[in-house]
């Protein structure tokens, strides 16, 4: 401890930045040197927090408030990173669900919200914040409060509740430098969910222009799509009812796209991604809605013909099997520069193996693999189609 204590204070605060705030505060008992040191740590990390009941909620709120007040009293108003994540609630008087608020359990919302702490007001206007990560919180915006995050570059929100959709719009509008956005289980009040205002409200023109990575696995945030045109990486959960094709703009910079199989407008989406190189599919287990009856498109998206090199299909044997085979075959037949196409199944699927391994491929170098989860992986390289043979012979 003496060796560590001999280090300069700026090195010590950097060390304390790598541990949860509760542990950083605990170092104040080590010696006089450490009493006030934690107050100058630029990172506040309140993760791994389990709230058992209303009393634990109260203690948690008091701890967060005391940390913020102690920093302010020490003259430190600068926070670079603020991470506040509640891992779970376990109370005998409240239902246990993976998400605090869902439409299915909307009648229980008032009870659940008593266990959802609200975000400290001082954080809403912290101009030095660069990273903000929150889980299981209630954003409450009164008439006199406003968001102001001029330095924020990373925003991750999970299991967050807001009264109105416009509060969320204001939040994003307050982040002009935002580069990395993750949204999961963002819930609004019933008036916001079903109002025409909610369906038509857009972000301001200055919002999200610097955004290069977006991970949005939430139907409620479908209105975001038009504002994501500059991203390079996009993971999104879509369905036609929430996000019609006309709502898409062209993703000029997008090279990596992750989509759920429930999206029955896959080809339409690909038409808006001219530079796409990496494509992934996953199963959205929150809904049973699958691909509609597959019909081969009249035109092939340019990204398939020119740029797509990797296509990863997970959870392949879940849901509507025929449609997924047809989707995979369509990609194999039209992706001219495809290099790898790994397919992941939970069990061996002979029909898929037979159809896909015998399917002509537009790319001679494409390596198709089917991992069935039973410790056997079936791999086969592409075979030349008539079109490829003619190209090689110069005819």
Q: What's the pLDDT tens digit per position in 213-251?
A: 999 886 565 556 778 889 999 998 876 555 666 667 899
The SS3 of residue 106 is helix
Q: State the pLDDT at residue 139.
A: 72
pLDDT averages per 10-residue partition of the chain, 395 residues: 71 88 87 85 81 74 85 81 70 36 34 55 85 82 75 91 79 92 80 45 65 82 74 83 68 94 80 96 65 77 96 80 88 96 85 89 93 61 49 44
CA–CA distance from 287 to each of 143, 188, 326 (Å)? 37, 19, 21
Q: Which residue has the tokens 């999206």?
A: 263
Rounded Cα–Cα distance for residues 254 and 214 (Å): 11
Query: Per the structure block, which two tokens stand in for 350?
Result: 């002979």
**Dihedral in degrees, nearest 10, Cα atoms 192, 193, 197, 203:** 90
Domain ranges (residues) in the chain? 276-395
Q: Where are the beta strands (DSSP E) in 113-195?
A: 131-139, 154-162, 180-188
The pLDDT of residue 70 is: 87
- Please report the pLDDT score of residue 373 as a whole number: 66
DSSP H/E element including 353 = helix 350-357
Q: What is the 3-state secondary structure (H, E, C) of 203-215?
A: CCCCCCCCCCEEE
Can you give the pLDDT at residue 99? Answer: 36
Q: Are 161 and 139 in contact (CB under 8 A)?
A: yes
**Is 0.85 topped by the overall pTM?**
no
What torsion do the CA atoms of 233, 237, 241, 246 make, to the nearest 10 degrees? 0
Q: What is the DSSP letter of 217?
A: E
Tokens of 107: 């009648």
């Amino acid at each position: 401890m003496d060796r560590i204590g001999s280090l300069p204070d700026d090195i010590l605060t950097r060390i304390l930045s790598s541990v949860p705030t509760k542990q950083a505060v605990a170092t104040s008992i080590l010696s006089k040197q450490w009493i006030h040191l934690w107050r100058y740590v630029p990172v506040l990390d309140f993760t791994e927090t389990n709230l058992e009941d209303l009393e634990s909620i109260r203690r948690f709120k008091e701890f967060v408030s005391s940390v913020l007040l102690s920093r302010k009293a020490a003259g430190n108003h600068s926070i670079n990173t603020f991470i506040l994540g509640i891992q779970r609630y376990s109370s005998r008087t409240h239902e246990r669900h993976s998400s605090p608020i869902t439409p299915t359990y909307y009648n229980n919302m008032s009870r659940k919200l008593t266990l959802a702490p609200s975000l400290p007001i001082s954080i809403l206007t912290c101009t030095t914040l660069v990273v903000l990560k929150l889980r299981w919180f209630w954003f409450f915006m009164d008439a006199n409060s406003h968001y102001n995050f001029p330095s924020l570059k990373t925003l991750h929100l999970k299991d967050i509740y807001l009264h109105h959709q416009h509060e969320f719009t204001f939040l994003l509008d307050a982040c002009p430098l935002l580069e990395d956005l993750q949204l999961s289980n963002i819930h609004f009040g019933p008036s916001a969910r079903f109002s025409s205002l909610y369906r038509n409200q857009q972000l301001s023109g200055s919002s999200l222009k610097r955004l290069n990575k977006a991970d949005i696995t939430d139907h409620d945030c479908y209105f975001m799509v038009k504002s994501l045109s500059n991203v390079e990486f996009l993971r999104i959960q879509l369905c036609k009812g929430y996000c019609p094709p006309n709502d898409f703009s062209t993703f000029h910079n997008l090279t990596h796209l992750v989509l759920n199989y429930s999206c029955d407008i896959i080809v339409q989406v690909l038409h808006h991604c001219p530079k796409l190189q990496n494509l992934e599919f996953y199963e959205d287990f929150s809904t049973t809605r699958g691909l509609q009856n597959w019909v081969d498109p009249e035109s092939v998206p340019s990204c398939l013909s020119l740029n797509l090199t990797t296509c990863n299909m997970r959870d392949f044997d879940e849901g509507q099997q025929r449609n997924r085979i047809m989707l995979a075959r369509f990609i194999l037949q039209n992706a001219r520069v495809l290099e790898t196409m790994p397919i992941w199944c939970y069990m061996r699927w002979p029909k898929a193996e037979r159809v896909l391994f015998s399917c002509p491929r537009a790319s001679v170098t494409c390596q198709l693999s089917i991992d069935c989860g039973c410790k056997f992986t079936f791999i086969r390289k592409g075979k030349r189609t008539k079109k490829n043979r003619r190209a090689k012979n110069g005819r």
